[in-house]
């Protein structure tokens, strides 16, 4: 019944009296009748809900049907129980105890019906009556567990070992500007290492940044980034991807990983560098490892060496190293008269290959599960 229909019906029931009393009587009667109707409406809705929910839950055969019915009746946002509960607001305060009692009873009924159906459906679907092929006594099908890629495992282990030697792991960006990849590392404009054919320059990114950008060709960039923001002493490693347009063969790949190490402090010498690298190699490879330094050249270290390790009676190059060039220390604001430092950059793939006897670096990037699951 609409409010207007209700008003007309109430008006007909009020005896005609003095004209000033009639509106008061009408309003009082209108409110009383509307409250009683709200209570009746709520009780009727509760009865219908109890009956519908019972029927619906009883009829559910599968857990999907049951879930649908649960949402319809008990759903927290738009379930029917929730909607009926909202009718309570229109019930007059004097009638609320009666209405509340009935609401709680129906709530309990609906929940009991749901739980009974839940127990029945669970036992039905697991029982032999539904699927005669199902044998609950057979062992379950094991899930195939994934694992970390061997290079990720190696990186974790290298961080662990170097952490024990007091080196903190830091990160640097893979897209670099020329200052960090070359200039601050004492690699001048005419140096062949800056040849576009030796690097992956990024034309589109550079045009937006307004300066040349490239994929970093070495992790030595992170040395600069750390020293720019940290006063000495510094003792860090950085592990990450580097990119060079090298032709892929058994020991080279155009994208590979390096571990950069940097230690700057007072009185640091080449002897410290060799001790750290020997300790590291012995810890990672598990046996006493021979390492040797071969004289070499890197623009950012002086003196510079290639670091070789012995592998099956052969010397294999694992990286470059040296004492940080005073020019580099100066370019980041350090005083080369106060501090000295060493740095090294080792190929992570080559370390992992040596440790596990992998003879071709390309295996790491083929994504062949038969290879990867051996680690």
Contact positions vs ligand FA5 (CB under 6 A): 218, 220, 244, 246, 252-253, 256, 258, 298, 301, 304, 317-322, 343-345, 347, 349-350, 361
Which is nearer to ligand FA5, 79 or 341 (by Cβ)? 341
Which is nearer to ligand FA5, 256 or 334 (by Cβ)? 256
Rg (CA), the chain: 39
- CB-based contacts of 85: which residues, under 8 Å, 6+ apart? 103
Residue given tokens 């592990």 in the structure block:
239
Q: Do residues 318 and 346 make contact, with C-beta atoms less than 8 angstroms apart?
A: yes
Structure tokens at 125: 């679907």
- CB-based contacts of 316: which residues, under 8 Å, 6+ apart? 308, 309, 310, 350, 354
Which is nearer to ligand FA5, 56 or 301 (by Cβ)? 301
Looking at the DSSP bridge assignments, the partners of residue 255 are: 243
Q: What is the largest CA-CA distance in the chain?
A: 122
Which is nearer to ligand FA5, 263 or 321 (by Cβ)? 321
The region that residue 330 occupies, defined by phi over 0 for left and psi between -120 and 50 for alpha, beta otherwise, is: alpha
Report the candidate in 76, 97, 89, 5 with the shortest Cα–Cα distance to residue 41.
89
Minimum Å distance from CB 335 to ligand FA5?
20
Minimum Å distance from CB 221 to ligand FA5?
9
Minimum Å distance from CB 154 to ligand FA5?
13
Structure tokens at 359: 């003879």
CA distances from 130 to 66, 68, 126, 134 (A): 17, 21, 7, 9
Which is nearer to ligand FA5, 79 or 320 (by Cβ)? 320
Residue given tokens 């009082």 in the structure block:
28
Minimum Å distance from CB 201 to ligand FA5?
17
Euclidean distance between CA atoms 239 and 260, whole angstroms: 6
Whether cis (ω within 30° of 0) applies to the bond prior to 77 is: no
Minimum Å distance from CB 76 to ligand FA5?
56
Which is nearer to ligand FA5, 79 or 319 (by Cβ)? 319
Minimum Å distance from CB 235 to ligand FA5?
14
Which is nearer to ligand FA5, 114 or 298 (by Cβ)? 298
Q: Which residue sits closest to ligand FA5, CB atoms considered?
A: 347
Minimum Å distance from CB 300 to ligand FA5?
6
Minimum Å distance from CB 213 to ligand FA5?
19
Which alpha helices (H) appear in the chain, and where do they start and end? 3-13, 22-59, 63-74, 80-86, 96-126, 150-164, 178-181, 203-209, 220-229, 270-285, 326-331, 348-356, 369-372
Which is nearer to ligand FA5, 59 or 245 (by Cβ)? 245
Minimum Å distance from CB 361 to ligand FA5?
6
Which is nearer to ligand FA5, 199 or 258 (by Cβ)? 258
């Amino acid at each position: 019944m609409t409010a207007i229909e209700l008003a007309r019906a109430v008006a007909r029931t009020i005896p005609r009296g003095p004209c000033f009393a009639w509106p008061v009587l009408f309003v009082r009667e209108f409110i009383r009748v509307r409250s009683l109707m709200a209570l009746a409406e709520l009780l009727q809705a509760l009865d219908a809900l109890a009956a519908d929910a019972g029927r619906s839950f009883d009829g559910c055969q599968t857990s999907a049907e049951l879930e649908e019915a649960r949402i319809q009746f008990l759903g927290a946002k738009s379930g029917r129980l929730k909607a009926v509960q909202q009718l309570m607001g229109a019930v007059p305060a004097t009638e609320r105890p009666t209405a509340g009692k009935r609401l709680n009873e129906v709530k309990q009924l609906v929940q009991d019906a749901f739980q009974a159906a839940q127990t029945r459906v669970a036992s039905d679907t697991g029982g032999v009556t539904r699927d005669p092929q199902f044998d609950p006594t057979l062992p379950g099908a094991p899930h195939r567990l994934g694992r970390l890629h061997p290079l990720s495992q190696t990186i974790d282990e290298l961080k662990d070992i170097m952490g024990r030697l007091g080196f903190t792991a830091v990160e640097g960006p893979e897209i670099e500007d020329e200052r960090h990849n070359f200039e601050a590392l004492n690699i001048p404009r005419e140096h062949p290492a800056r040849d576009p054919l030796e690097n992956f320059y990024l034309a589109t990114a550079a045009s937006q940044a307004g300066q040349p950008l490239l994929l970093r060709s070495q992790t030595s960039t992170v040395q600069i980034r750390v020293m720019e923001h940290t006063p000495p002493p510094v003792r860090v490693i950085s592990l990450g991807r580097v990119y060079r347009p090298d032709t892929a063969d058994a020991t080279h790949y155009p994208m590979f990983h390096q571990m950069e190490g940097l230690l700057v402090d007072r009185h640091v010498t080449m002897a410290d560098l060799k001790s750290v690298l020997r300790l590291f190699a012995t810890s990672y490879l598990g046996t006493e490892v021979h390492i040797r330094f071969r004289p070499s050249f890197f623009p950012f270290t002086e003196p510079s060496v290639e670091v070789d390790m012995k592998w099956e009676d052969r010397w294999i190059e694992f990286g470059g190293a040296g004492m940080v060039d005073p020019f580099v220390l100066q370019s980041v604001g350090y005083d080369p008269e106060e501090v000295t430092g060493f740095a090294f950059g080792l190929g992570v793939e080559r370390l992992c290959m040596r440790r596990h006897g992998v003879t071709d670096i390309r295996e790491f990037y083929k994504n062949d599960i038969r290879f990867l699951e051996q680690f």
